[in-house]
Chain A
């Protein structure tokens, strides 16, 4: 198994998590670093994800040995692990915290993207999910919580159950892509791990998430409109949830020709909605082929209590977990969650239609094709410098600050030519 530094691993856990990874492999065939973990061999066999770990059910001791050994070995050398799955099901509720603890104990940046059950799934599930979520929020550097009830607009009654689950999987996938993109070190403008932790590292917080995708000349506007319409971005009775957020993470992903002016326009629009007190952190992931669609992701949170900021994990050495909780042995979740390794509770078959994506499956965790060879430390340092550049815009536009920008050939021409061309001038000398 190749162990390249600074790679990130996406782990799909339980049936929901594995489905999401399958969707991911179909839609982004080049995506590497995927790992499916489940206790249901049928689900794993049906999955097109190349790397799989089966956690045997019914034997907690053996289960933890597998997590400790196999999972531990797989994530070794990675810089970040993103766990993804549905909570409430007994598999996810147990495996997610257990894997998070294992990853954290290896000193990795650990994040999670989880779906909370629909209310029609019953109180038992809800309770289980909430306890697991609490645990996860304690352990992980960042947790994105997708409330399925909210997602279906609070009225799942009018939606077919199957559709509701599909929507839920789609949203989890998008959230996973958002987190992955934000973590990624490529692109000219970045979001740091500290930013992600700041927004998503709160216990008991509600995650606000929106995404939109569009192409064509009006792509940015359409993508933003779609993202803003996401039900997870609205608070009942209060309008946009962005107003309640102190920091918003924005990721733009698409073709190489994402224009500076487009980014600026989007930030301006969000600022308008969120108000002046909100900080917007922007990440741009512009490496797709020309003409590809623009994807826009928004992540924010409201409520919750801030934990001591976890230091971004930058070492590959196995050490003590650096999260706020005291070191826990990998065995401990059993007693805390109070369940034994169960059967998968969401009895959905993995659709065989996914097999067409198999040809796209890559080698075992090969080095990412993107230039991510920098160590985490260096990347973090660079990203801090990069952040500063956007804040200068208003100053650069001078008197045209509040006017409609003059955008020709993708450039904001209100910004002085010499600035755009990077020409140095001699400053005036004061008398």
Chain B
């Protein structure tokens, strides 16, 4: 059965809802069978604000995916984002009574210990991601089960968020009689297909800029060191253009896609962009430098916020990051890589899902990184090997709260 498993990734984004149906092949590769999607309504900044509308959109996207792939969708893996999500690193420790071989129960106990920290009462744990084990002070023990010791310690990256908001997403899907395999932090899903193992080991920052949120994740030495969500994205750029140039939102969006550039307006070609008349809009000429100024300032600000957040979350962490990988729908914005390079001062690459096969036009579009990443994550978790490395071991946080449906 495990040889040809089918996984479905569902991302309820601010701009669109995507459903990726993928098949896991024997060689650990993911092959995409198809994608279902609908424009999203009722989602703001990555969070559901209108349950009924969103549920309807999700239903459409699922039906669309079923039509295209001829697969009946029973269970999905869901990505979650929103500014309510927060993360921190914590070390758990367990003193064994006598020096002995470490048992699997000890690994569980040390994780429980790491989670014994106060998070705000409305919050719940989403992920407890292992970073490294230490036995009797020996740092980074790859497989503690084979070693003996009296003190087991483990570092975890812990992600938590407001329970009710996470439940909103789950309720929406369950009302469609669809089972939920697990809930996965968006950036964690994207990283599975966007970053290679080498990049994770070498030190990488992945930024997924979507419509409503910007999700980011830092890998150092193969383990997640930091993650964050900014409730800022392409929508903000569009809104800025709309406010600054006094254009209707739809016009501003179109202008952003067609003519927008995040590059420093100093090097702008200048001149005017002519917007044509249409029945509901009086045409006008837009100053290109103004347009580029608006976008540049916003994009730069987003990157600067991320940089400051990483710097404040761990001393010297920024120095250990050797490259920035940008993905997400908004990464298609012209000049965005240069702005990132300016801010982070390290090589920047625009990227999309890799190491997957199937319908090319789907995985080559960076806006599907999260949904594709979900299927890859699903594959790695269900196969019971850590995603791409022994250092990553995911334990179910929230998903286990929900009854799973048999596949």
Q: Using a CB–CB distance below 8 Å, which chain A residues touch chain B? A: 395-396, 398-400, 403-404, 406, 408-409, 413-414, 416-419, 421, 423, 425-431
Contacts and interface: CB of A to CB of B under 8 A. Distances in A.
B286 A398 contact: no
Given A413-B236, A429-B284, A398 B243 contact: yes
Contacts of B249: 398-399
Contacts of B244: 416, 418-419, 425
Given A406-B232, A416-B294, A425 B240 contact: no
Contacts of B305: 408-409, 413
Q: Secondary structure of the A side of the interface? A: loop
B267 interface: no
A148 B239 CA distance: 51
Contacts of B49: 403
A396 B297 contact: no
B197 interface: no
A418 B241 CA distance: 10
A429 B290 CA distance: 12
Contact of A425 (B231, B232, B242, B245): B245
Nearest to B305: A408
A431 B283 contact: yes
Q: What 4 pairs across the A-B complex have the smallest Cβ distances?
A: A416-B240, A426-B287, A417-B297, A425-B290
A119 B272 CA distance: 74
B83 interface: yes
A426 B242 contact: no
A129 B240 CA distance: 57
Interface string B309-338: 000000000000000000000000000000
In the complex, which range does the number of interface residues on chain B fall in?
A: 35 or more
A318 B239 CA distance: 56
Nearest to B243: A398
A414 B297 CA distance: 13
Contacts of A418: 240, 244, 293-294, 297-298
B103 interface: no
Nearest to B239: A398
B247 interface: yes
Nearest to B274: A431
A399 B253 CA distance: 12
A425 B294 contact: yes
23 contacts: A395-B243, A399-B235, A399-B242, A400-B236, A400-B239, A403-B45, A408-B305, A409-B305, A413-B301, A413-B305, A414-B239, A416-B243, A416-B294, A416-B298, A418-B298, A419-B243, A419-B244, A423-B293, A425-B293, A426-B289, A428-B246, A428-B287, A429-B284
A430 B247 CA distance: 11
A214 to B, nearest CB: 17
Nearest to B288: A426
B266 interface: no
Contacts of A428: 245-247, 275, 284-287
Contact of A406 (B45, B283, B290, B297): B45
B243 A431 contact: no
Contacts of A423: 293, 297
Contacts of A408: 230, 305
- Among A395, A398, A419, chain B packs the most CB atoms within 10 A around the CB of A398
Nearest to B289: A426
- Among A413, A419, A425, A427, chain B packs the most CB atoms within 10 A around the CB of A425
Given A416-B240, A417-B240, 6 more contacts: A398-B249, A404-B45, A416-B239, A418-B297, A425-B287, A431-B282
A324 B316 CA distance: 69
B3 interface: no
B307 interface: no
B354 interface: no
A431 B278 CA distance: 12
B406 interface: no
B361 interface: no
Nearest to A401: B239
B236 A414 contact: yes
Interface in B140-169: none
B44 interface: yes
Interface string B80-101: 0001000000000000000000
A400 B237 CA distance: 12
